[in-house]
A and B are shown apart, each in its own frame.
Chain A
Amino acid sequence: MSEATGVSGGPPAAADRPRTRPEAIKAVPLRHVWRWISAVVVLALAAALVGTIVTAPNLRWDVVGQYIFGGLILQGALLTVELTVIAMAIGIVLGVVLAVMRLSPNPVVSSVSWFYIWFFRGTPVLVQVFFWYNLNAVLPHIGIGLPFTSIGVQASTNSLISPLLAVILGLGLNEAAYMAEIVRAGIISVEHGQTEAAMALGMRRLQVMRRIVLPQAMRVIIPPTGNETISMLKTTSLAFIAAVPELFTRAEQIASSNFDIIELLIVASIWYLFMTSILTIGQYYIERHYARGSQRALPPTPLQRFRRMLFTFHAPPPIVEGVEAPASLQHGGGR
């Protein structure tokens, strides 16, 4: 006991103790030497890499600059976004339906869902897009009607399934199989007591699903869905095989006329990176929205986190309790 405790004269009486506030800790912060060394190494490597690319003798940055906001590229990027939105919309809606069907007590309904997922997850998406695109080769006419009768309507496959629709079907139906598994994992993650309490109140099975289970499943569903959306944004480049002019097709078409292949790939990549970045930010805010009721305080926004990091430079950044999905759900873009 010395001056440092801030108590003057004699040992404090027991009754006094609660009143004297202990001095704030002033310790020399731990120096993270390896952090600094590794940062320097990484920066040096990155600089070397960027330098190599930027100064590559035959890389014409002026071409990149010329095309990055070019009309055709912008149209392509827009179509990429549209394809992503439509395919994901189909995937999510159909995925939720399939997931609920999969968990249905009705064995017919649940096996239909099982079979769908088995089939569409078991074949490459490239093959599926190709399949829809070439369907007219084996099935020149499509129609609905009563089986074994001549009642019904028919139309030629080519007029029904345009290249654009073929891509949308291929991507959307495939995505539904993955989304179904993601949604199912989310539904299972909701504690059974919730269903029980809702049923005890007299809610019907579908009501329980829509009002009670799915909103809670969202916390588990959203992170991998964000992953899926980002993956889809890039997978839309498969539209190339159907000559649907989205971003990658446009870049390729331009490149095949002026032979600036790498330059146009860079243009496309910059756009893909830009759009996935936007999605990443969007995902963060949606996750934050659905964390409502599961955390006492909402997690900070990136801006708030950044500010806090600046003010507590030596301390490790605060750990935000995440709602990470199990790794098994994140199949990434490698299909």
Chain B
Amino acid sequence: MVKAEGVHKRFGRLEVLRGIDLEVAPREVVCIIGPSGGGKSTFLRCINHLEKIDAGRLSVDGELVGYRQQGDKLYELPDSEVCTKRSEIGMVFQRFNLFPHMTALENVVEAPLRVKRQPKAEVIPRARTLLERVGLSDKIDAYPNQLSGGQQQRVAIARALAMQPKLMLFDEPTSALDPELVGEVLDVMRGLAEDGMTMVVVTHEMGFAREVANRAVFMDGGVVVEEGEPRAFFASPQHARTKQFLSKIL
């Protein structure tokens, strides 16, 4: 589903990604962990083409992100096509980023109505079902500031799912939450994984990674240092840097 080969990204003189190689199969759940500033968020944003990569190849579902290849030449995609591609990838942010001037339901229906131009009669029932699925059927008409952090993040997940994405990206979805609210969000994500959604999750929730992920990836200094089956990965990391990092957070 996602294929990264030697992905490089720099901000000015700071080289944040220095050759990321990673493959994510359909229906796979991959958890990315790593120290702050290691480029995890940047990598997720590249997958969604919120950032342009400088070198390497990055493709989603077999199509290059942001470019079209013809012969051995790359052509930049026009905005409209980039937007269409983005609409097929769901993204959930650390700080929720719900639209504060819209109710939970309005947040969820906005993109299907405006981007996909699907009819209201179809979108609204689906949005209600989604909100129900994340356990918020009684909060449909609440504004984001009337919701707890955990509830907001669940609305944000429903909002992303409403676009019927083929891939979901989560950028530390629980790290802005109080500890007792983390569980409700992880439960929703676990349910998604069980339904076969392809997911790339940046997280420090080791328990979630161990139970739900098919693979754990350790990223540091802009490269993938080590990856493996989660249980083995956490039990016996191979690299010194991984060991050091895990010993600090476990």
Contacts and interface: CB of A to CB of B under 8 A. Distances in A.
Are these two chains actual partners, yes or no? Answer: yes
Interface of A: 191, 193-194, 196-205, 207, 211-212, 215-216, 292-296
Contacts of B146: 296
B79 A201 contact: no
B73 interface: no
Given A197-B99, A211-B110, A212-B99, A203 B93 contact: no
B83 A293 contact: no
Given A202-B115, A211-B110, A296-B145, A197 B93 contact: yes
A203 B50 contact: no
B241 interface: no
Given A193-B93, A197-B93, A293 B100 contact: yes
B105 to A, nearest CB: 13
Complex A-B, nearest 7 residue pairs according to Cβ-Cβ distance, in ascending order: A202-B87, A197-B97, A201-B111, A200-B91, A193-B97, A293-B143, A293-B101
B80 interface: yes
18 contacts: A194-B99, A196-B97, A199-B86, A200-B50, A200-B90, A201-B115, A201-B159, A202-B163, A203-B111, A204-B79, A207-B114, A207-B115, A292-B101, A293-B100, A293-B102, A293-B144, A293-B145, A294-B100
A191 B95 CA distance: 11
B42 interface: no
Contacts of B100: 216, 293-294
A194 B97 contact: yes
B48 interface: yes
A198 B115 CA distance: 10
B101 A215 contact: yes
Contacts of A191: 97
Contacts of A204: 79-80, 83
A215 B89 CA distance: 25
A48 B139 CA distance: 60
B84 interface: yes
B212 to A, nearest CB: 22
A193 B145 contact: no
Interface-centre pick from A199, A203, A293 (highest chain B CB count, 10 A): A293
A202 B86 contact: yes
Contacts of A205: 79
A200 B47 CA distance: 11
B144 A201 contact: no
A284 B111 CA distance: 32
Contacts of B114: 203, 207, 211
Given A211-B114, A293-B143, A294-B145, A203 B83 contact: yes
Nearest to A215: B101
A277 to B, nearest CB: 29
A296 B142 CA distance: 10
A212 B107 CA distance: 10
Interface in B45-88: 48, 50, 79-80, 83-88
B40 to A, nearest CB: 16
Nearest to A212: B99
A295 to B, nearest CB: 8
A199 B156 CA distance: 14
Contacts of A198: 99
Contacts of B110: 201, 211
A198 B93 CA distance: 12
A198 B110 CA distance: 9
A40 to B, nearest CB: 44
Contacts of B101: 215-216, 292-294
Nearest to A203: B115
Interface in B150-182: 156, 159-160, 163
Given A201-B111, A204-B79, A296-B145, 6 more contacts: A197-B91, A198-B99, A200-B90, A201-B86, A201-B159, A211-B114
Contacts of A196: 50, 93, 97
Interface string B98-122: 1111100000001100111000000
Contacts of B79: 204-205
A279 B76 CA distance: 50
Nearest to B162: A201
A201 B145 contact: no
Given A204-B83, A211-B110, A292-B101, A199 B143 contact: no
Nearest to B48: A200
A132 to B, nearest CB: 38
Contacts of B144: 293
Contacts of A212: 99
Contacts of B98: 197
